Every structure is written in structure tokens, then in C-alpha cells.
Amino acid sequence: MAFVFEKTGIPEVIVVTLQQFMDSRGFFSELYRISDFKAAGIEVGLAQLNQSFSRKNVLRGMHYQIRPKPQAKVIFVPQGEIFDVAVDIRQGSPTYGKWVGQNLSQDNKRMLFIPAGFAHGFCVLSEAAQIIYMCSDEYAPECERSIFWNDPVVNVVWPIAEPILSSKDAQAPRLADSENNFVYSGK
């Protein structure tokens, strides 16, 4: 198997560690194999692949898409290091409003699977970072929503004190005031 799958404090959010095959020419890694992901309980197809580049102390988030175009994501960092966060926004969930965070980097070869029904954000810890997002549905601006990165009820413990934010992220609503049509199904 090309991956190691580990559940986090919110079991639906899964850390995926890559195996890297190295020799004198360089290395090779698989980033996604549908059969391995399905065997680990991750049963989503991937519809869109995104790349972003950010500098140190940039914080992007906390973003999600509501139905009918919700996005599950697999986050991968081929260059640099980020602190990646998922917040459960599924109404009725036993972990509603709770978060998990993971350092993802080119060195630790970890990815993070974030299911639909979770807000996602990250901050850059290295001088710069490239981030690859594998998404289960296409971007739909009419479904795009966000929650405030520093909502005191959610209380994410970010590893940077003064993040660089977009004006949109700086003005996002708190979780209690955000539009959200996700309901926990007990699965």
C-alpha cells in the first residue's frame, strides 16, 4: 500500500502519510489511488485539482462550500510547511465546532483528508509554501462560504500571532452566524 491512514481526534478527518520511493535520480510518490482511499473509508471522487502559493504568516480560511456543491478535500504540501485545520460544521455532530490541526510539509509527507461538512484553513509556517488541493466537487462561487478564522467559540490555537489575511477572510462571520446546510447523519 502506498499510504498510511490515521484517524484524528475527529475520526472523519484523516491524516494520509505518503510512501516515497527514492533512488539516485530522485523520488516517486503516489498522491491518490482510489482503491486505497476506499479501503480506508474515504469514498469520494476527485473533480478538481487546485494549487496555491503563499508566503510566511499568510492564513487562508476558514472556507467551505454548502450544498448542492459541497467539497471534500485532500490537502498536500509539495513545498514548505503549513498548519492545516479542519472545523466540524455539521449541525448535530458530537464534534460540532471542534477542530483538528496538522502540520503538513514536504518533509513529513503527510496529507489531510477533510470531508464535506468541514471548514478548512491553513497558515504558512515556512518562508513560503505551495499547497495542492484535491477537491471532490468543482468550485462554485454561489456556494462558497466561510467562518471567521479566530472565532472564540471554535478557538483554533494557531501557531502564528499576527496572520496576513485577505479582506474577505478578515470579515467572515462567526460559526454561529454563518450559512451552513450540513447536518450530521451519524455515519
Per-residue pLDDT tens for 26-85?
Answer: 989 889 999 999 999 998 888 999 999 999 999 999 999 999 999 999 999 999 999 999
- How far apart are the C-alpha atoms of 180 and 67, rounded to whole Å? 9
With 70 as the cut, is the pLDDT of residue 187 above it? no
Identify whether 120 is a catalytic site residue: no
Task: Name the residue type at position 157.
Answer: V
Residue 92, class by beta-carbon neighbours within 10 Å (0-12 exposed, 13-18 middle, 19+ buried)?
A: exposed
Q: Which of 64, 96, 120, 133 is catalytic?
A: 133
Q: Which of 63, 64, 120, 139 is catalytic?
A: 63
Q: Please name each of the domains of the chain with its CATH number.
A: 44-177 (2.60.120.10)
Q: What per-residue confidence (pLDDT) applies to 127?
A: 98
Identify whether 133 is a catalytic site residue: yes
Q: What per-residue confidence (pLDDT) applies to 22?
A: 87
